Structure 1
Amino acid sequence: MFRRIVSLYQNLYKTSSISSSSLSSREIYSRMKQLMDSKEYKKTLDFFDQQSHSCTDFEINLALKACISLNEYQCGMNIQKTLSQNSLNNPYIQATLIQFYSESFISSITQLLLDCDLVMSIMLTITNKSNYIYATMLKGLISNNMPTKVLDLFDEMNIKSNQAILTVLFGACSRVTNDRAMKIGRKLLNQMPKNFLNDNKLLTSAINMLMRFGDVRSAENLFQMIQKRT
């Protein structure tokens, strides 16, 4: 009787192992997405570790996002080290890596400066930088209290800024408030497309910037635009 139970258990274990190892990338992604949506980030990484041999860039990207949510710095570093060049060239993974290195959970200033260098090195490897890539990078610099570096990166941008980028740039200008920041902030505001005026978050950032510049009249004009729409 005991041997029969052991035999049944072994067969069940083998079946379970085969089933687990034969999951398709779509099934792996679906399971990881469910865990992420449920905020079960640790289980997401555990499942990723079990299925890493079958994972595509989609699953790798989810694993990196789980690392961000858990502040699992070393785990994220380990995942990055295993990435192929093709994966490193994936724009979604690039954006997530930039977010990973830019997150403010890194407590050591020395480590933080090192990570900024890593972020910049990732940026240099990206041939076609999108607004999403730039927005991710800029938000990371702002969250790490580096508004001057935001303006430095803006000077290197060769694409038109969208609402998300302008919101961050106005925020950086309001923190720096020197001649350079005022020049950049006012120029961006004057050249901003009219349809962007429908973005309340963007206008609020611009109003705060103008108030920091001491330009109360212009700030009031923008505020009245918001009031007229509400």
Structure 2
Amino acid sequence: MIFNRSVYLIIFRRFAVIHHTNILAFFTSSVLINLGESMKKLIDKQKYQEALDLFNHNSTSISDVAISLALKALTCGDEDNACRIFCETKNKTPSAYGVMFKEPDSTNLVMLFNACAQLRNERALKIKNSFLNQMSKLFNSTNHVVNSFLNILIKFRDISSAENVFVQMKTKEIITCGIIMQEGKVGYVGKALNIFDHVEKPNKMIYTAMINSFGLNGMGHEAVDLYRRMPIDIHDEVTYICILNACSHSGLIDKAHSIYNNIKVKTERITTAMVDCMSRMFMFDEAQQLIDNFELSHPPGFAMYMALLSSARNHRNFILSEKVLDRMKKLFPKNKQGLIAGSVLLCNTYSSVGEDEQAKEARLKQLHQIGKNKIVGITWTAPKGEVVRFKAHDNSHPQSKEIYVEVARMSVELKENGHQYDSRWITREINDDENIESILCSHSEKLAIALNFIQQPIQNVIQVTKNLRICGDCHSAIELIAKLRQRPIIIRDANRFHHFDTSGQCSCQEHF
């Protein structure tokens, strides 16, 4: 991958803009221990685990105790917790730094720089300046160390030094890839593409990150065009999954077929992506045939059946849902949590077609299993730069009264323009003091949008994030709201981005 020197600062400044996110997560993943390996080591060292549990449940402010535990974590190979404990420890003494960094290997340097970036005190500033005077030595370290040091400079607003470091870095793939992914994940595809276009010779990571950004934002045709331009010899499993997902989210079933048929080694994850694509188009027989063919030479894959079950729920096909879930119970009897999720989908399918008694019976069977572990739908938005979260029927916000007045106003506009509230998206019993409209109007995404509309001035683009998939009624309502209010709305749900434009169309083209 080759960069023009003139574009280094363009890329870097985008990196600096998003520094308030967890930048280090982009860069230090290879330093961290694989979870499975880490768990095995912890099991082998029972006393350390007990100490760690005590620290997590009774976090101590005694620096020496915490630092000792951090050292023990390092000796156990648990760098992740070592770094966390060190960074969370308040009132660090000078000796604490000395103990942790007697031998400054790459792991310790990453930890030191991360701690300095978080503390941003006088001592951290001295450490930063000290390493600035030793940049030649620093560049002999791993790229993770240099990336971590870059994070300190940004946190201290030392942008000129950070730019110099970035220009001198030998490899910039991780940062560039991270920026493209970040921009794509927040819906700024144009900015991601601008970064991509300035890379003279994109490598596998850069191509795949851009394809994924297109896919997440419903730009399937652009993703396919880029995939066709990508050198065939650098395609890998992740590339295939990203392009198939892009086709899936844009309804490009023919292009997905063409791409899938030309993949020589069809892994479980690649096949799952194709099953998902077929299922979203309600091609259930074809999807089941693909699963059957895969299982002739491979063990069954749980995710394939979940893709089938999820789309059966969207199709409101409770007969197929029952068959799929019954097969899942036979094939994966030990996957308790997965089967609970499948049962919830079946309950929702029953509710969507008015089979209330079957839904109630299924819920009662699963209630003792789900307990408090059921995922609550939450929506986030930040109309004035401050993140606000909502649950359904939420009244916790200081402006709740105004929010619900705005929701009622939107509801009147929606009904006047032909919107009919769809009771099939209500997945619980309706209480005596409720009706279909009151339940659906109190969904968290509608509350978040209403909050944005009562702000002055209203943002040019309203942005909302939801931890679950958006419901069909909210999707239809928001398409109409964006058109009536002439305000673009972007919603990031559990699966993808939905760009609702002022014409009343969504980028997903109803493929959600």
TM-score bracket, normalised by the shorter chain, equals 0.5 to 0.7
Q: Which amino acid aligns with 1:46?
A: D
Q: Of 53, 58, 74, which residue of structure 1 is paired with 2:254? A: 74
Q: Of 156, 160, 166, which residue of structure 1 is paired with 2:336? A: 160
CA distance in 2, matches of 1:154, 1:177: 17
Query: Alpha carbon RMSD of aligned pairs, Å?
Result: 3.8
Aligned pairs (5 A) from 1:29-178: 29-37=208-216, 39-51=218-230, 53=232, 54-85=234-265, 88-91=266-269, 93-104=270-281, 112=283, 114-121=285-292, 124=295, 127=299, 129-130=301-302, 132-157=303-328, 158=332, 159-162=335-338, 164-174=341-351, 175=353, 177=355
Q: Deviations over 1:138-185 (max 9, x none)?
A: 111122332111111111222214464343121123347398766544
Residue 122 (structure 1) shift: 5.8
Alignment partner, residue 370 of structure 2: 193
Q: Is residue 102–residue 140 contact of structure 1 (8 Å, CA) maintained in 2?
A: yes
CA distance in 1, matches of 2:354, 2:274: 27
CA distance in 2, matches of 1:183, 1:123: 34
Q: Secondary structure at the match of 1:199?
A: coil
CA distance in 1, matches of 2:238, 2:319: 34
Alignment partner, residue 206 of structure 2: 27
Can you give the 5+ residue segments of structure 1 that lack an aligned partner in the other structure? 1-18, 107-111, 218-230
Q: Secondary structure at the match of 2:336?
A: coil
Which structure has more strand as a fraction of its residues?
2
Q: Deviations over 1:76-120 (max 9, x none)?
A: 1111111223xx2232x233212101113x6xxxxx354244354
Can you give the 5+ residue segments of structure 2 that lack an aligned partner in the other structure? 1-198, 379-391, 393-425, 433-512
Residue 40 (structure 1) shift: 3.4
Q: Which amino acid aligns with 1:90?
A: E
Q: Secondary structure at the match of 1:127?
A: coil
User: Given the superposition, is the C-alpha separation of residues 74 and 198 from structure 1 closer, same or farther in structure 2, using an over 3 Å criterion?
Assistant: closer
Q: Of the two, which has the highest radius of gyration? A: 2
Q: Is residue 227–residue 243 contact of structure 2 (8 Å, CA) maintained in 1?
A: yes
CA distance in 1, matches of 2:357, 2:224: 47
Residue 47 (structure 1) shift: 1.4
CA distance in 2, matches of 1:101, 1:133: 11
User: Given the superposition, is the C-alpha separation of residues 117 and 36 from structure 1 closer, same or farther in structure 2, using an over 3 Å criterion?
Assistant: closer
State the TM-score, normalizing by the size of structure 1: 0.61
CA distance in 2, matches of 1:136, 1:78: 20
CA distance in 1, matches of 2:370, 2:315: 29
Aligned-pair identity (%): 10
Alignment partner, residue 478 of structure 2: none
Q: Point out the more displaced range, 148-157 or 175-184.
A: 175-184
Alignment partner, residue 41 of structure 2: none
Q: Point out the more displaced range, 51-60 or 159-168.
A: 159-168
CA distance in 2, matches of 1:114, 1:164: 23
Q: Deviations over 1:195-214 (max 9, x none)?
A: 2246359x9xxxx56649xx
User: Given the superposition, is the C-alpha separation of residues 66 and 154 from structure 1 closer, same or farther in structure 2, using an over 3 Å criterion?
Assistant: same
Q: Is residue 28–residue 55 contact of structure 1 (8 Å, CA) maintained in 2?
A: no
CA distance in 1, matches of 2:429, 2:228: 50
